[in-house]
Each structure stands twice: as structure tokens, then as C-alpha cells.
Structure 1
Amino acid sequence: MTADGGFSRLLSAEDQALVAAAAEAVRARYRYGRHSVGAALRGTSGRVFVAVNLDATVGRAAICAEAVALGEAVMAGETVVVVVAVRHPRPDEPGEPAVVSPCGLCRELLLDYAPEAEVLVPGRGRTGLRDLLPSPYRR
């Protein structure tokens, strides 16, 4: 990820490794129209959980990469501390995979399971999840 506009300077070596893990996940599984986003979550133990999004013919059935990785972390008994998502460009787009901010649904889901987590956000570096979703939905 070379053309990141200086974003990598905002990240620790550990967070840069998280970005690399998410990018590698999507590179390894990239399939146009199916797997274009990778996510990596680091738990309190230091373990990293990576996943790709699961796109579907019926859009509502699609699952974001962050949700898949979160499910793996939950199953392992982890508490998530840092999250990153990386989007791979379409084959007709120039460039490398880039860090993207989690969508609103992922923000809500992550807040339910990891309210104290931080998210890697382009141009900002590490940002508290609560800062990205100051007024979450509550039942």
C-alpha cells in the first residue's frame, strides 16, 4: 500500500501489520463481484483474525468482512481491540488495496461486541469506534 497519502505514518508497526493482513486476505481470495473487502481484527491476546466479505446474488444476504472476522474472534473467546478493513480495487481500477472505514452496519455490530475497540480510519489513524458512531441504535 504505497499510495496511501501518508496514512501509514499514522500507524504503529503493529497496526501496519494488521493492514497488511487484511490486504493479503483480500488479495488471496479476491474474486470480482464476490470478495473485494478484507478485514483484520486484533484481539487482546494479540491474535489476528482475518476474513473477506461474502457477497451474494441477493444483496441483503451479503456479509461484510468485519462481521465474518468478528464471528471468528467471538468463537475464539477474544475481546477485539483494533479493527481494519481493506477494499481491493476492481480489475479495471488502477491502484492497490486501500484502507476503508467500516460501513454503518459494521459500526453498529462492532459496537455491540467490542464497544471499546479502535478502528483504523484513512487520514485519521486509530479512532475509537464510539467516535465513529456517537448515537448508536439501542433497543
Structure 2
Amino acid sequence: MLNVRPLENKDFELIREAEKVIENNYSYGRHHIGAAVRTTSGNIFSSVHVEANVGRITVCGEAMAIGKSISEGEHEFETIVAVAHPHPHEDIEKCWVVAPCGMCRELISDYGKGADVIIMYNGDLVKCNAMELLPEKYTSDVE
């Protein structure tokens, strides 16, 4: 069982930034996930995932947002979230929060062990520490 906490106003603002980036950049078959990361300084960096014809080359939105933040000199992460945009053939009207995939869980925990992740859990939007989503994480001697 996860140790989840309720969202604060700033968490809903982070979700809205993820929604905005994908609503502005949605492209069927190319971009359907938006992500946003808030750094410990309070800055928010958002990005979309980049789909490739060869699925293995696809880069997730969370990775793109983390990379964007790091490229701007922000290396300490507070909270991250990803949202999915509905496809035209789906009978869904708005974006929804999605949990990070396994690779993103690894990446988030590599770069932000203390970071929170916003997820849907038991029907509620909540946040939990990134390390809780990746128990018994692989570590190397470099850490």
C-alpha cells in the first residue's frame, strides 16, 4: 500500500500545465502525453512525449520535462505529473492523469529520489514519493 497524500493547489496548477502543453501540441500518432515537473525553486517545465515510428525510440513526456528542466539549470525536483490527451476516436472530452511507465519511474527516481509523483490511486488524485513507485530500486556503486 502506498503512502499517499492529498494534492495542494500548486499540484493542481502543475496538472494544468501538463494539460496545457498537450492540448496545445496534441498530434494523433505523434504526441498524446503531456508532462510537467516543478523544481524545488518553484519553476515549472512542461513537455510532450515524442512518438517514433519505431516504438523503442519514443521518449516519454516525463523524460522530456526532466531534460528540459536540467537543460535550463534546474536539477532539483519537487513534483512531476503526466496526463493523456484523448484521441479523436475516443469518447472522452478531457485529459486525465496517468501513472509513469516503468522506465520513467526509474528515471524520476534517479534524478529526484525526494520528488513526488501525482497519480490516480483508488479513484483519487494523490501524490506519493517516487521511490514508493519503484520498490527495491536497482542502485550502482556510482550513487
- State TM-score, norm by structure 2: 0.87
1:76 Cα deviation after fit: 2.2
Q: What is the root-mean-square deviation in Å for CA atoms of aligned residues?
A: 1.0
Aligned equivalent of 1:87 = 84
Quote the residue 1:125 is aligned against: 126
User: In structure 2, the residue corresponding to 1:112 is in which secondary structure?
Assistant: helix
Q: Deviations over 1:112-131 (max 9, x none)?
A: 11111000011251111011
**Which of the residues 108, 111, 116 maps onto 1:110?**
108
One-letter amino acid of the counterpart of residue 114, structure 2: E
Q: Paired residue for 2:3?
A: none
TM-score, length-scaled by structure 1: 0.89
Post-superposition CA distance 1:51-98 (Å, at most 9, x none): 000000111110000000000111222211100000011111122100
1:106 and 1:36 mapped to 2: Cα distance? Answer: 16
Whole-angstrom distance in 1 between the partners of 2:26 and 2:128:
27
Matching residue of 1:4: none
Note the alpha carbon deviations across 1:21-66, whole angstroms, 9 max, x for none: 0011111000011100000000011100000000001111100000
- The corresponding residue for 1:135 is 136
- The DSSP-based 3-state class of the residue aligned with 1:81 is strand
Question: Alignment partner of 2:63: what SS?
Answer: helix
Give the number of equivalent residue pairs.
130
Instruction: Tell me the equivalent position of 1:3.
Output: none
Q: Measure, in 1, the Cα distance between the counterparts of 2:42 and 2:131.
A: 22
Structure 2 CA distance, aligned partners of 1:75 and 1:128? 24
Runs of at least 4 residues off by over 2 Å: none
Task: Flag structure 2 segments of 5+ consecutive residues without an equivalent.
Answer: 1-5
